[in-house]
Amino acid sequence: YTRIVLQERPGAGDITPTTFRTESLPLAGLAPNAGELLVQVHWLSLDPAMRGWLNDARSYVPPVQIGEVMRAAGLGTVVQAGEGAAFRAGDLVRGTFGWTEYAVMKAKAVEKIELPKGAELLDFLGPLGMSGMTAYFGLEDVGQLQPGETLVVSGAAGSVGSLVCQMGKKRGAKVVAIAGSPEKCAWLEREVGVDRALNYKDPQWKEEMKKVGWVDVYFDNVGGEMLDFLLTRLNKGARIALCGAISDYNRKPKGLTSYLALIGQRAKLQGFIVFDYADQFPKAMKEIAGWLADGSLKRKFHIVEGLENAPSALTMLFTGGNTGKLVVKVDHG
Ligand code: NDP
């Protein structure tokens, strides 16, 4: 079977062809002990956070070690269950399997999937996965969005962003989306249903944003200069949910200059990590599953075929090559 391991750390720059290495190992060597499962992996999630896991730095999870299989959340099927594991061959499961076709996992670290009505398997990497939980709690708990407020979402055509936009509309906000191409903006306005979508690569976008009026909640996926600009557009009492800062993941951040506006506008800027809300996931999943069942939540998956393409696909997140949730289909055919 094939797996992909971290070969060298990319430092402060881009992921390169020598960052990862592919390995071939005999499947016969993989067998579950008591309390373990052998899982065949079908789908893997690609996430901007993976860039951070490649750095040898303090974070909310330890870095991936050199020679270790690249960490990734995935969906798979149990092939064989060790003694005492409460699973059966054929069970659909979610877990942090990594970039590999097969993984031996502690049964306790794996979650059995039961598809709610209207949901498909891939939704467990999208609206019913970490993207959905991040959007939900970032907006509800950190953003404290109220009906009638103006919500601005950056990285809006991505996995988290496109869900935040729709949840904002469901909560009665005016939603302004920021994304990196005319096609993404058209999708956001026509399909996702935002009030306005602005292309940040258009030199006029800041002028257009000024016409939108003051911002009550800024759900920030991008950080850097975009955050610096949005800080000048805050309404009194605005909240900024600092979800991510993808523009700074591949480089040394340059200094913010507009953060003093937080003081004058009595605004809050708060970072969060989705795992802090783990005990409340069932509540969010219930409401999101309801939107999937009634057909009111749109989701888009950008599917890359073949585990061998995971490293190059990961770089897509940093060039904007994806619309919606980027996933890898591990098995061909
Ligand atoms: P996305 O599907 O949004 O993919 C990333 C997108 O970011 C790209 O498609 C690209 O779109 C945009 N982007 C890349 N570089 C830049 C740049 N320099 N400036 C502006 N936009 C850029 O990924 P996710 O939905 O998975 O993640 C979105 C954010 O949420 C990330 O910052 C991630 O780290 C964060 N996150 C945080 C969590 C938490 O617990 N706090 C949990 C999960 C995710 P475009 O074409 O528009 O440029």
Each domain of the chain, given as residue ranges in start order, spans 2-125+299-329, 130-275
104-110 contacts: CB < 8 A, separation 24 or more? 104/30, 104/31, 104/32, 104/36, 104/37, 104/38, 104/39, 105/36, 105/37, 105/39, 106/35, 106/36, 106/37, 107/35, 107/36, 107/37, 107/81, 107/82, 108/35, 110/37, 110/39
Q: Is the separation of the CB atoms in 1 and 101 below 8 Å?
A: yes
Q: Residue 176: left if φ>0, alpha if ψ -120 to 50, beta else—which one?
A: beta
CA of 27 to the centre of ligand 1 (A): 35
Q: Is the separation of the CB atoms in 82 and 34 below 8 Å?
A: yes
Atom 7, ligand 1: residue with shortest CA distance:
155
Global ipTM: 0.99
User: What span, in angstroms and rounded, lies between the C-alpha atoms of 41 and 102?
Assistant: 6
Cα distances from 305 to residues 40, 42, 270, 313, 329, in angstroms, run 16, 11, 37, 10, 5
> Which residue ranges have their beta carbon within 6 Å of ligand 1?
47-49, 130-131, 134, 155, 157-161, 179-181, 184, 221-222, 243-244, 246-247, 272-274, 317-318, 320, 322, 326
Per-residue pLDDT of the chain (333 residues; tens, 9 = 90+): 999 999 999 988 899 999 999 999 999 989 999 999 999 999 999 999 999 999 998 888 999 999 999 999 999 999 999 999 899 999 999 999 999 999 999 999 999 999 999 999 999 999 999 999 999 999 999 999 999 999 999 999 999 999 999 999 999 999 999 999 999 999 999 999 999 999 999 999 999 999 999 999 999 999 999 999 999 999 999 999 999 999 998 888 788 888 878 877 888 999 999 999 999 999 999 999 999 999 999 999 999 999 999 999 999 999 999 999 999 999 875
Which CATH fold would you assign to the domain 130-275?
Rossmann fold (3.40.50)
Report how far Cα 145 is from the mean position of its chain's Cα atoms. Answer: 20
- Predicted TM-score (pTM) of this structure: 0.95
User: What span, in angstroms and rounded, lies between the C-alpha atoms of 87 and 102?
Assistant: 16
The preferred substitution site among 159, 162, 221 for testing ligand 1, maximizing ligand atoms within 8 Å of CB, is 221
Architecture label for domain 2-125+299-329 = Alpha-Beta Complex (3.90)
The predicted pLDDT at position 57 comes to: 87
- Which atom, in ligand 1's list, is nearest to the CA of 242? 41
